Chains A and B, each alone.
Chain A
Amino acid sequence: MIAFSKNLIMIKKLIFIFISVIFFASCGDGGDDDTIVGPDSQDDVREVQIDPEKINGLIESFPSPIEMAATIEDLRVPYSKKYLVPTEVAADFDSNFEKALGLGMLSADLGYLNVYARKNAIVEYLTSIKRLADALDVDQFFEFQTLKRLATNSNNLDSLMFLSVSSYHDMDEHLRKTRRSNLSALMITGVWTEGQYLACRVNKFKSDKSTEEIIAGQKDILKELLSVLEFFDDKPKFKKMNDQFRELLKLYDNVEIKLVEGEDKISYGLDSIPVIEPGEHTEIIYTQEDLDKIQNKVIQIRNNLISL
């Protein structure tokens, strides 16, 4: 009988352990966060109809991510990863608003990286872009595997540029086709802002006339961009962003862009090949003070955007 009671104690112990583990488990279960359910009623989903011609015009007059970078290339400024949007930050973009914006920004960064042929960073940014594209359901236009292969094979950087530009356009087009022109606009905004930002950063590092002119010369483009963005002014996020761009536009008030007429000049280069310089060109008038203000504002806007 002693054996029985011993066993009984053992069983009791087991039951105790079992119950305490269950207790522990149930306490730890569930977590302490309460989820927020949506508002009781949501507004009707309203589709913003933008005149397709308007946006198409905008796209065409817009610098593609790569063009922005190309100007930097000539300056021979040292490469700095600090200028780029960190991919960890991109991973934390939560809404489609940020994702589309981020997609544009990272595309511009990709252009910058292409210039410096930073293969590892290119793969890193491609991955990030792929994730954003995926979240926006436009990943089918983004041939990640091909791009990645091109990136790791240094001889194909030109093809990489070409492909990434074309997939950028495809994504943009698809967004508009699938009634998401807001995202398309955001993507363009992203590219423009990041390009402008990179130019500003580079210019701050090493001042250069041509860079300055590019920065200053964005007045009309900004205007056009805003005219599209203003369609979405009734959304808080857009409103907040647009307000900043409007402030930026104000800083451009003193900047004047003049079209100067003149005759085409033909000059002969080193190998006696004639080069035609168009006589008609734009002249951009700005003060250094304005430029500084613009530059600071651009940097500020961009930083605000990525920390949304």
Chain B
Amino acid sequence: MSEEILKALMQLFAIIAKQDEGVAEQEEKFVKTFLASQLSKTQVEEYMDLFIKHSEREEKKRKKKEGKEDPSGQVKMVDSVRVMGICRKINRTLDHKQKVIVLARLFEMINVEKKLSEQRMEIISVVADAFNLSSQEYSEIETFVIEDDYNKVDSEAVLIINDKELPHTKSQHILSESLHGSVLILQIKSADLYFLKYTGRQDVFLNSTNVYNNRIYLFAPGSIIKLPKGKPIHYSDVVARFMKDLEISNLSFIVNKLQYRFKTGDIGVRDISFSVDHGKLVGIMGASGSGKTTLVNNLSGITTPSSGEVRINGINLHHNNGELEGVIGYIPQDDLLIEELTVFQNLYYNAKLCFKDKNDEEITVLVNKTLKDLGLYEKKDLKVGNAMNKTISGGQRKRLNIALELIREPSILFVDEPTSGLSSRDSENVMELLSELTQKGKLIFVVIHQPSSDIYKMFDRMLILDQGGYMVWYGNPVDAIVHFKTIDNQINADVGECRLCGNVTPELIFDIIEAEVVDEFGQYTEQRKILPYEWERHYLEGVPKEEVEEVEDEPPANLNIPNWFKQFSIFLTRDVLSKISNTQYIVLNLLEAPLLGFILAFLIRYIADPTSNVYIFFDNENIPPYIFMSIVVALFLGLTVSAEEIFRDRKILKREKFLHLSRSSYLSAKIVILTVISAIQALLFVVIGNTILGIQGMYFAYWLTLFSVFVFANFMGLNISSAFNSAVTIYILIPLLLIPQMALGGAMFSFSKLNRVIGSVDKVPIIADLMASRWAYEGLMVHQFIENKFEKQYFDYDQVKSNSNFAQDKLIPKLSESIEAIEIVTEENKGKNNKDSVNKVIEGELALLRYQLPKGNREILKLVDKLRKHRLGKGVKKIKFDVFYNNFDVLAADNKTVKDSLIIPDELLNSLNIKDYNIEEQGYALMDYLYKWKDFYLAVYSSANELRENLIAYQDEKIPGYYIKFRNKYHNEHLDDIVRNIYEKNKILRFNEKLIRQEEPVYMEPDDSNFIGFRSHFYAPHKYFLGNTYDTFWFNIFVIWAMSLLLYIPLYYDHLRKIIEFFGDLKFNKKGENKEKKQKFKGGDKSKK
């Protein structure tokens, strides 16, 4: 109480006391006692003087005036005015609670002598008015203070404790064992206060101090009334009586032999059994490493115990989750706030996620009410900020964190160290808040570390853990001190709290528990006096257990989470708001991509001809590197923009898991936002980069590719963001993810020239197929080559030309060589005795023929088919394209003719084995076919060549210089060189039985022998999959998206985190094991001392 208030109070006392006959002796004594309870001795004198001065002065004044004026029964105007003045002063500084206390004191004072004159009552009524107390509460206080006979007190606001049956019904009642008189408790609802008085003459103790007859006491949270006989009455018992009407649903929380074992076998907590019902504030204390968090995780259902059970209203918490949904709330020690959002928004979106049936208005009202309740209303539009950039205080943050769970009012709440890092004032506020909740019937578990005396006493029950997860106490907190002191044989062991000040010393408990044996030299040894299991035994054997009746009702769940889409939209709005409120983030994200695009494109906009100033796209050798770099940029930006997304939210996520909110809607919201950001970034990059480099008509293809890569990188980023615990780890990981993407993207190293272990001759190596960069790069390169406005006109001719040229010029000669090789080796070794080695050679060649010839058959049929379908030359309609062969037109001829003349029959192919093969028979027949093939391909080649020439000539006729103009504008020479692999020396390569084409891969159709296989050589123009061929560009885009979607699976199930945790667990527990061993000898945490 401040000096000012005390002074004001003295004046009030004085004014009231001097009414009527002046200050009575008893009244003076009361004031003295009152002051003594508040102040030190010297100060008591000082204030006492003040009281006397005021009352005497008044007396004198009055006496002076008495002669002149008529003494009347009325209160003097002057007094009323003065009272009003004092009350105004008080109103400014005292809160409602304190005002009620003041009023109660005033009543108490006049009650001392039972001088209840009208004047006195009138002044008190003036005070009550000034304090804005309701008349009902005023009269309740009046009756409570003044009335001695409990029978006459008949109010809902009063609880009577005595040994008699209650005649009337309104009042609450607790039946005690024999007791002289009654203990009366008054509830002031508006202030949430309780007053206590005792009308009897026995020794009744309130928090171990004597209760005097008819004195008014404040019945503070955590108080205990000890009657001469019978069970003590706890604060919570009292509150429970009053709360009856408040629709408190019954709860029973029963823990039975709960034990938790880590994966390594170490025990986290062991044999925990206790039971508790609703409306209790349960503290959990223990040295660090004693298993507090493990216990809370088990009790709240985050982890499942190895044995034992937790039953809530008879329902097993760990095996019946559905029915308990929304019953439990959890407030971790960490911040759960979204820094970018305001105080209001944080709570608002949280509330929206909890109540689907409340509309926006109702939620706004609810949020505002909660904020008011917690004293945060004035700060509601402030951004929460972070530790570095504080806008609200630590206490306010904590309260807001609690508000997040509070607003939904779960019946059982777990709070992990709510006071850590807070000032003692803030700590008390927070604890009072929780304590108030228990009065509403909630069951709250609080892990607490070194509580102050006041906080310690707020708890209804205390659970104390010792090293190794032993429960060494569960029960009344003050009794705990007595218990340990008794076992430690301390003096005054039976006194829990200081008789004078009521303080308790919870730290004493740990001093006792962890006390070490002193050796003969007076040094502390590392040996504990009493080991954890001994403490447990002391508890189990020495303390009677409190049994709670199991409740059968369904536990009250206060959670009504919205459906998937609603959640998604809430997550989306919340995320968008938090993103756009971060201007730096938005600006950087919007500028980074175009800036990079500009830098990159500007640097490589190169004019090949030193004498010219005209930029020619065709001559710019940097286009392929540009394509590759843009993919790298997309990977980088996509990864960095997403790498912290989930990581930042991980605490919030842990909580939201409790609410059973959908992870997929959370992820989907994230993905949608990232996708939009990616789309914008890709667009800005492409628009700037491609425009500067003069890449024409390709904006969409580039955008789509980069966008897809961005999204892929987003998914990758989300995965690591979800798996790792620190930002540094995430950023260290980025190169590890990106370098392989770069190295195996196809641009830096040729796939045919990789290490044999991973390399593959005819297809892109599998490891490279796992890289999104490779698909993106190939897709864009091929698209840029085939679909540019120039090449598009000639591609079909070029392809037929290239393929038939390869066949007649490289492939068929190789096949002939094979047939000849058999002949040569047979000739050379005639009569020699080395049949095995000869056969080996022959077998090798035959294997090659067996593989290549059917393939050759297929390719001829495909080519004929293609030519017939007029695929040659897009835009060239009604083309009459004749290939003469053997005096027939291949295109016009029926299939049978084509087959008969060009296709090697199966019988011949089947006889290509060492047993049946005969040089003169099969060998010559094959040679015959090869001649025919060569002729066929030559005819096709020269026809395609001719057609192409004709087209160019036609175009040139229409617009002179057409070809070169288009080429310079739309085609790129260096890119052309790369996709045609012109630098490759070996145009054809033999690998076992395969002849592998190395030249002009961009014209070579993929192998379609495998129905589900889609792997192909690099720069294939098309992809074959499930019986269809697709353009490489579109197929590759599809692959990238498929990869992204695949990455969603580990993201959703958090696989990566689980894997990491699996390995992490092994390590950690090794450490833990050592620690435990050490502690067995050492006996505790040094830091405790």
Tell me how many residues of A have a C-beta within 8 Å of chain B: 47
Q: Is the CB of A137 within 8 A of B955?
A: no
Q: Which of A29, A42, A45, A180 has the most C-beta atoms of chain B within 10 angstroms of its own C-beta?
A: A45
Output the nearest chain A residue to B684 by Cβ-Cβ distance.
A21
Residue in B580, B684, B687, B873 whose beta carbon sits within 8 Å of that of A10 in the complex: B580
Would you call A237 an interface residue if the criterion is a C-beta within 8 Å of the partner chain's C-beta atoms?
yes
Contact call A21/B945, Cβ cutoff below 8 A: no
Distance in Å from the Cβ of B811 to the closest Cβ of chain A?
13
Rounded to whole Å, the gap between the CB of A176 and the closest CB of chain B is 12
Q: Which residues of chain A are within 8 angstroms of B680 by Cβ–Cβ distance?
A: 14, 18, 21
| Most chain B Cβ neighbours within 10 Å, of A11, A35, A139 | A35
Which of B581, B687, B789, B939 is A3 in contact with, Cβ under 8 Å? Answer: B581
Chain B positions within 8 Å of A95 at CB level: 949, 952-953, 956, 963
Is there an interface contact between A96 and B945, defined as CB atoms closer than 8 Å?
yes
| Interface assignment of B1089: CB less than 8 Å from any CB of chain A | no
Q: Once the chains are docked, how many angstroms separate the CA of A210 from the CA of B577?
A: 90
Interface status of B67 (Cβ within 8 A of chain A): no
A37 located at the interface, meaning its Cβ lies under 8 Å from any Cβ of chain B in the complex: yes
Candidates B342, B686, B792, B987; contact of A35 at CB < 8 Å: B792
A97's partner among B577, B580, B949, B965 (CB-CB below 8 A) is B949
**Are A137 and B801 interface neighbours, CB within 8 A?**
yes
- B577 contact from A7, A42, A94, A178, Cβ within 8 A: A7
Is A270 on the interface with B (CB-CB < 8 A)?
Answer: no
B969 at the interface (CB under 8 A from A): yes
Q: Is the CB of B696 within 8 A of A25?
A: no
Interface centre among A21, A42, A139, A145 (most CB of B within 10 A): A42
Asked if B875 and A37 make an inter-chain contact with CB atoms under 8 angstroms apart, the answer reads: yes
- Please tell me which one of the listed residues B580, B699, B877 contacts residue A25 in the complex, with CB atoms under 8 A apart: B699
Q: How far, in angstroms, from A26 to B965 measured CA to CA in the complex?
A: 23
Measured CB to CB, the nearest residue on chain A to B793 is A35
Which residues on A sit within 8 Å (CB–CB) of B970?
31
Expressed in whole angstroms, the minimum distance between the Cβ of A18 and any Cβ of chain B is: 6
The answer to whether A47 touches B942 (Cβ under 8 A) is: yes
Q: How far is the CA of A134 from the CA of B880 in the complex (A)?
A: 28
Considering the chains assembled together, what is the distance between the CA atoms of A39 and B947 in angstroms? 11
The residues of A that contact B879 with a CB separation of less than 8 Å are 41-42
Contacts known (A3-B345, A37-B876); A180 close to B987, Cβ less than 8 A = no
Q: A11-B576, A44-B880 are in contact. Are A25 and B581 (CB under 8 A)?
A: no
What's the A-B contact tally at a CB cutoff of 8 Å? Answer: 135
In chain B, positions 925-957 with a C-beta closer than 8 Å to chain A are 938-939, 941-943, 945-956
Q: Are A92 and B964 in contact (CB under 8 A)?
A: yes
Interface residue? A57 (CB, 8 A):
no
Q: Do residues B945 and A3 form an inter-chain contact, with CB atoms below 8 A?
A: no
A250 at the interface (CB under 8 A from B): no
Interface pair B809/A140, CB less than 8 Å apart = yes
Instruction: Tell me which of B699, B882, B967 contacts A45 (CB under 8 A).
Output: B882
Which one of B684, B808, B955, B969 contacts A36 once the chains associate, using CB atoms below 8 Å? B955
A30 at the interface (CB under 8 A from B): yes
B683:A25 contact, CB within 8 angstroms: yes
Distance of A226 Cα from B319 Cα, bound (Å): 99
Determine if B703 is an interface residue (Cβ-Cβ < 8 Å): yes
Taken together as a complex, chains A and B put the C-alpha atoms of A180 and B945 apart, in Å, by 9
Minimum CB–CB distance from A52 to chain B (whole Å) comes to 15
User: Once the chains bind, are B969 and A42 in contact (CB under 8 Å)?
Assistant: no
B residues lining the A interface (CB < 8 Å): 342, 345, 381, 576-577, 580-581, 586, 590, 609, 680, 683-684, 686-687, 691, 696-700, 703, 789, 792-793, 801-802, 805, 808-810, 873, 875-882, 884, 938-939, 941-943, 945-956, 958-959, 962-967, 969-970, 982, 985, 987
Apart from A38-B951, A45-B943, A95-B949, 20 more pairs, CB < 8 Å: A2-B381, A17-B590, A24-B687, A35-B966, A36-B954, A38-B873, A38-B875, A38-B950, A38-B954, A41-B877, A41-B879, A42-B876, A42-B879, A45-B946, A47-B942, A94-B963, A95-B953, A97-B949, A137-B809, A179-B939
20 pairs, CB–CB < 8 Å, chain A vs chain B: A2-B381, A3-B381, A10-B586, A14-B680, A21-B687, A26-B699, A31-B969, A33-B789, A38-B950, A42-B947, A42-B950, A44-B880, A45-B881, A94-B967, A95-B949, A95-B956, A96-B945, A137-B801, A178-B941, A236-B953
List the 4 closest pairs (A to B, CB-CB), nearest first: A37-B875, A94-B963, A38-B876, A31-B696
